[in-house]
Structures are given as structure tokens and as C-alpha cells.
Amino acid sequence: MRTLYCGWDGGGTRTTVLLTDRNGKALGQAQFGPLNLNGNSKATVSGTVRDAVSFMLEHGRVTALVIGMAGISNRAAVDFITHAVRAAGYGGPLRIVGDQEIALEGALEGPGAVLISGTGSVCCGRNEAGEFFRSGGYGWIIDDLGSGYAIGHDILTAAVRDEDGRGGPTCLKQMALEAVGAKDIPGLITWLYGPSGSKKEIAALATLLRPALAQSDAAALRIAEKASADLADMVTALWHRAGLTKGELVFSGSIPEHYPEIAEGVTERLRQTLPELRVTEPHGTAAQGAARLAVAAVSPEEAVCVNALPGFTMRAMREKDLPAVRSLLKRTYDMGDVPWSPITEDWLRRAALAPDRVSLVTEQQNGTLAGFALCATEPARQTAYLSMLAVAMPVRRRGVGAMMLRAIRELA
């Protein structure tokens, strides 16, 4: 059976879904709608999830899925996506991380940073010790400087300042009016504070900057310069906090892609303040980074287990699982007429505090505990790993345990 891993790069306007094998070879890719609940309805995001899961499962059984998206600090958003993925039919190992984490994983192979500027903005990086750092990315209400939203906001500001004389004349005023279908500034304000003036719609106005820059519009030039300065500040702050003495910087997102003036402005500022920094092209995409994290999330042994058990999945053991695992293990001890000892109880408690050592096998449909496995990675322990899992299966799962035993022996 082919082992598939999947990574999603979920954005405010589109979501890239990538399927790979364990070595990172691409086996399928597609794009779907937005995944960010900030600026999109739940119905829209749910539709994106259904389409993405459908595409993913058409290719076969997926061993692990990692979704990178903005706004994961909002627990409700993470719970919503998790529920939507499960409802769409995927019950395997799932991890949801920040979009900056998958961008960093995909773009760099060593120390450095990724500067992301699309609808929002954030800078993330890692130092020589592999420690993760972040600067910015706190949302459009208080942050997201140098982003598409910030540029759209500044364009609207330039338009109203042209109207009342606080700023000089700018072609951005007429462009903004035409873009939102308004005849005058009062009409623009009505649009802005009405249902249509969403974060996404304001960010879309950033496209007006290109024709305005072509006309050397003074307000447009100031907006581009401000975006460059704000983005450079994010990189500088992260570089110093991470203690980086060398490394690469990679640009990501629609703003540096479509506005070379802004990217060049950032580069020029950093050349003066951080001469050890090198601006380079990314080694891979954010979706590739997500798929790479999906591979790392599941050991080769667990991958075989997941693929050998249709209808089941594996997840790390948590402390709250202790009573259910104790009950299951006691039943297996009783079947073998093995006495329960304080040593076993002590091992079980320590295992619950070391989730990298124990995985639980649960039914995909309802999450019912079906068995557990020691997480052994050394080849010499693979047979023991498998035997423990087979024995730990309740009587009604003996056939499943035997099937897994045959499957994992292939690893030995």
C-alpha cells in the first residue's frame, strides 16, 4: 500500500494541498478556497475543507496531515478546522500549525528567517540551535504592518487625506472610488463601514499601488517606503532576539512577489543594519514544508500501523488517557493470567508523561480506544513494538492485531 503524507498551506484567499511520499516526492497537488476564518464565513471555510479532504482521500489512505494556517492562537478557529476535517472524512493523525511554521520549514535548510507578507504579515526564523522565533503577525487590528491589508488601509487613508487637504493630491483617490463602486468619499466611507468593507476587501485594494507607482505618485511612493521600513523592522527585531550571526532571509507572499520595490527597499535597509544576512530564494514552498512536517509527525512504525488498520488511527498518549489505558492493559493481563504489579503501574504513569514513547490506537469514527503501542524506532525493538500492540488489542480486535503484526514485520 502506498504511504501518503499531506500538507496544506491555508491562506486568506486560497489553500494549497500537497501529497507526498515519505521522501518528499510530490504525488498530487491542487488549490482550493480560503482557510482563514478571519474575513471568511464558516460556510466558505467548511467548503474549502470538504474539497481539500475529498481531493486528498481520492489519492488513497493518508498517513498524516499537517495544516498550516494563520490565526492558530484563536483556539476556536483550530477547533473549527479540526471538526471540519473530521466531518469531511479524514480521521488520521492531524496537526495544525501556524502558517509561518510551514513557510519556515519549506524555505530554509539552516538558520535564518522567512518574511511573509500577503493579506497579513509575520516574520519567523530559527537560530543555529534550531530555536524558533517570531516577530509580528498579531492580526490586522493591531499589527500586520507591511501587509496587503496595511497597504490597502494606507491607500484609503491617502484618499481621504486628499479629500480634506491634509495630504497632497493622489491618483489613489479616484482609483479607490472606482474599485469600490463609489462616486465620492462619503460613498467610500459607506462601503468601508458596511458589510463589504472586510479585511479581505481592504487588502484587495493593495493592487491599486502598482499603477500608482507606475505614475510616480507621491502618496504611493510613501506607502511603498513605509511598507519596506515596517517589514525590515520585523526582520531586524527577530534577528537580534534569535542571536543570529549569519543566515538566510527568504521573502514569501504576494507583496514581495508583486511589488519588487518593496522587497528591494527591505533588502537595502537590511544590508545596512544586518550585513551578515543573505537574501535568497526559498528552497521549497510552504506546502512542501507542511508535508515535511507531516512526515516528521509519524514514525515509520506508526505509518505502517496507520496504513495497516483501515478505520483506525494513532495519536500520542496524554495524561488524561491513563484510566482508559490502565483498564485496557489490565484486561490483557487478565487474559494472560499475569498479575498486575506496582512496577507496571509506575511504568504506565511515566509513559503517560512521555507521549513520545506511547501511541494509542483509536477508532476513527468515535475515538474509542482499541489498543496501544510502544514507540520503538530501533530496528532491534520493532518486533517487540509490534508484539506489544498485538497483545494489547482487546479480544474483539485480535484479528486487527495480527494484521498489524504481519504488516510491521515487513520493517524488520
Q: pLDDT (tens digit, 9 = 90+) per residue, 92-133?
A: 788 999 888 898 999 998 899 999 998 889 999 999 988 889
For residue 195, what pLDDT band results from cuts at 50, 70 and 90? confident
Q: pLDDT (tens digit, 9 = 90+) per residue, 207-223?
A: 999 999 999 999 999 99
More confident residue, 275 or 297: 275
User: What are the residue ranges of helices labelled H in 353-397?
Assistant: 382-392
Instruction: Mark 76-86 as b/e (b = at least 16 C-beta within 10 Å).
Output: ebbebbeebbb
For residue 305, the 8-state DSSP code is H
Architecture of domain 112-279: 2-Layer Sandwich (3.30)
Amino acid at residue number 390: A
CA–chain centroid gap for 229, Å, is 27
Fold for 4-108+286-297, please state it.
Answer: Nucleotidyltransferase; domain 5 (3.30.420)
Amino acid at residue number 28: G
- pLDDT over 60 at 190, yes or no: yes
Specify the pLDDT at position 381: 41
Q: What percent of the chain has pLDDT over 90?
A: 50
Q: How far apart are CA 399 and CA 405, in angstroms?
A: 10
The residues spanned by each domain of the chain are 4-108+286-297, 112-279, 310-409
Strongest mean pLDDT among 219-228, 250-259, 318-327, 368-377: 219-228
- pLDDT over 60 at 327, yes or no: yes
Burial classification of residue 41, based on how many CB atoms lie within 10 Å of its CB (0-12 exposed, 13-18 middle, 19 or more buried): exposed
For residue 408, the 8-state DSSP code is H
Q: pLDDT (tens digit, 9 = 90+) per residue, 226-236?
A: 999 999 999 99
Specify the pLDDT at position 40: 84
Q: Same topology for domains 4-108+286-297 and 112-279, yes or no?
A: yes
For residue 5, give the nearest of 36, 31, 29 by alpha carbon: 29
Strands 62-69 and 94-98: parallel
Out of 1-10, 39-48, 364-373, which region has the weakest mean confidence (pLDDT)?
364-373
Q: How far apart are CA 263 and CA 209, in angstroms?
A: 14
Q: pLDDT (tens digit, 9 = 90+) per residue, 126-182?
A: 999 888 899 998 888 899 999 999 999 999 999 999 999 999 999 999 999 999 999
Q: pLDDT (tens digit, 9 = 90+) per residue, 2-35?
A: 678 999 999 878 899 999 998 899 999 999 999 9
Superfamily of domain covering 310-409: Gcn5-related N-acetyltransferase (GNAT) (3.40.630.30)
Name residue 262's beta-bridge partners. Answer: none
* SS3 call for 29: strand
What is the grid cell recorded at 6?
499531506
The reported pTM is 0.65
Specify the pLDDT at position 18: 97
Average pLDDT, the chain: 82
- pLDDT over 90 at 352, yes or no: no
Specify the pLDDT at position 400: 45
Q: What percent of the chain has pLDDT over 70?
A: 76
Specify the pLDDT at position 252: 87
Q: pLDDT (tens digit, 9 = 90+) per residue, 66-93?
A: 999 977 778 888 999 999 998 898 877 8
